[in-house]
Amino acid sequence: MPEENTLFHKILTGEIPSDKVYEDEHIYAFLDINPVNIGHTLVIPKKFSRTLLEADEETIAHLFNGVTKIARGVKEATKADGINIMNNSEASAGQEIFYTHIHIVPRFDGDGFTHWKGARKYNSGEEQEVVKKIKKEL
């Protein structure tokens, strides 16, 4: 899908309204329309990429500097006990909008949201095998 057809590009240009919480030369942050908790914020780079893994290094640096700054602000403002900083890359990981974005989710003790529910254990030898494969790619 071309950049201009994505929902978040339209939010960036103002074609679709959003509740802006922060903007600078490189990033734009706004409230998620369906918050996990009040204050759930999305941060997007102004430079388009389809997924985080396709973004260039400079864009990622600006994005994550901004994300941590905004996350501190969200935590203070909502009096959250903790924060999840998340990205979904590709549909199998839950990505619905194909314009890179980072979720900042305020979390509260006992709020009941669970993640990594299906976590498993390694079978014998699997750790070494996958470590070898990952190292080869880096």
Which CB sits closer to ligand AMP, 19 or 129? 19
The DSSP-derived string for 51-110 is SGGGS-HHHHHHHHHHHHHHHHHHHHHHT-SEEEEE---SGGGT--SSS--EEEEEE-TT
Q: Is 89 in the site for ligand AMP (CB under 6 A)?
A: no
Query: Judged by CB under 6 A, which of 1, 33, 53, 131 binds ligand AMP?
Result: 33
26 included as an active-site residue = no
Q: Is 60 in the site for ligand AMP (CB under 6 A)?
A: no
Query: Judged by CB under 6 A, which of 3, 22, 32, 64 binds ligand AMP?
Result: 32
Distance separating alpha carbons of residues 97 and 88, to the nearest angstrom: 9
Using the rule CB under 6 A, give the single segment among 50-58, 64-72, 90-98, 120-128 that binds ligand AMP. 90-98
Nearest CA-CA partner of 83 in 62, 117, 109: 109
Q: Is 34 in the site for ligand AMP (CB under 6 A)?
A: yes
Q: CA of 1: how far to CAs of 7, 13, 66, 90, 102, in Å?
A: 11, 17, 26, 13, 19
Nearest CA-CA partner of 92 in 42, 129, 51, 131: 51
Q: Is 95 in the site for ligand AMP (CB under 6 A)?
A: yes
Q: Is 7 in the site for ligand AMP (CB under 6 A)?
A: yes
Which CB sits closer to ligand AMP, 93 or 131? 93
Q: Catalytic residue numbers?
A: 101
In the complex, the residues that contact ligand AMP under the rule CB under 6 A are 7, 16, 18, 32-34, 42, 88, 94-97
